[in-house]
Amino acid sequence: MAYFAPYMDGTGLHMPSYDDRLAELRARYCEIFGADPALSASAPDYQLLAAFARRLDDVSSLIRQAYESRNPLSASGHGLDLLLPQYGLIRNPGEADENCRRRMLSSTAARGGCSLDSLDAALRSVTNGKFDLKYRLYVNDGNTADANGIPSHSVALVIYNGGAGKLAQALFDHVAPGIGTYGSTAATAYDRDGGAHTVFFSRAAYNSLTVNAFVYKLPGADETAISEAVVASIMGFVDGLEIGGTLNIPQLYGVANSADPVIANTYVVSDIQVSVPGVDHVVRDIVQCAWNQIFFIGTQAYPAVHVYFTN
């Protein structure tokens, strides 16, 4: 692109790139001093123009950071802290930026007119911050049942935790009239006059996995420390996957090998094999959840990440 003066419009902040600025400075130089074939990348004057362009680009970078710090989708650190009070929120001790942004966007949605966004905000508020809900909303606004069996003009909530009564009330209060609820669990919600209504949603079913990690360790490496770090890291990663999500097994190598920076140079994960119920072979590539399932390693009573060592 050619150089242009920075500006803002309805789509955001627009600024020229470093290359655009350098080309503009070079063109102005030639206008003033005349075309100079010696103005190559190795020429001192060209290097000075490049330095000017780089410093201008540094200023633009700072301006963009300030601009983005006012955006609820991207604000971080102190900029995010300054935004939170505008939404009636303060940062909890030790709370990560990502969770702050999630709470802030939920607050924004609750004020909005979009029923689906308002429903999402209501679902996040039903626990009063005692624990994080894990759920997924599916909407079928078509005229026939979709591929998941969700009826037409219906909302399907699949959720891992949360009280049935509060969830049902959130659905009843925020789903638009004429839109049905779908799921395998029924609960009762009440209208403003005390009338009872049946609301449906689904509890997420387990897609139970067993993960076997094969680790090459250096002589003298602490097997217990390695095993604990690898198990915790893999379980944390899988637990963070969404309902109806996909497990990309090759990603687990990076997760496991960087589990603990202190001991990262004492071992290498050489193979990861995942066993899936109903599959007669180990899987090394992709595991897909059904729309109403959540990944779970082992069982509730027996987490199943196994680490096997070689040296």
Listing DSSP states for 14-48 in one string gives: E---HHHHHHHHHHHHHHHH---TT--TTSHHHHH
Using one digit for the tens of pLDDT, what is the confidence trace for 181-214?
999 999 999 988 888 999 999 999 999 899 999 9
SS3 content of the chain, % helix, strand, coil (to 5): 35, 25, 40
Integer Cα distance of 239 and 69 in angstroms? 30
Query: Average pLDDT, whole number, for the chain?
Result: 84
What residues have CB less than 8 Å from 133, skipping those under 6 apart?
Answer: 123, 124, 126, 127, 159, 160, 161, 162
Which tokens is 270 given?
């050489």
Which tokens is 157 given?
């909530």
Q: What is the mean pLDDT of residues 99-115?
A: 62
Using one digit for the tens of pLDDT, what is the confidence trace for 263-306?
989 999 999 999 988 888 889 999 999 999 999 887 655 668 99
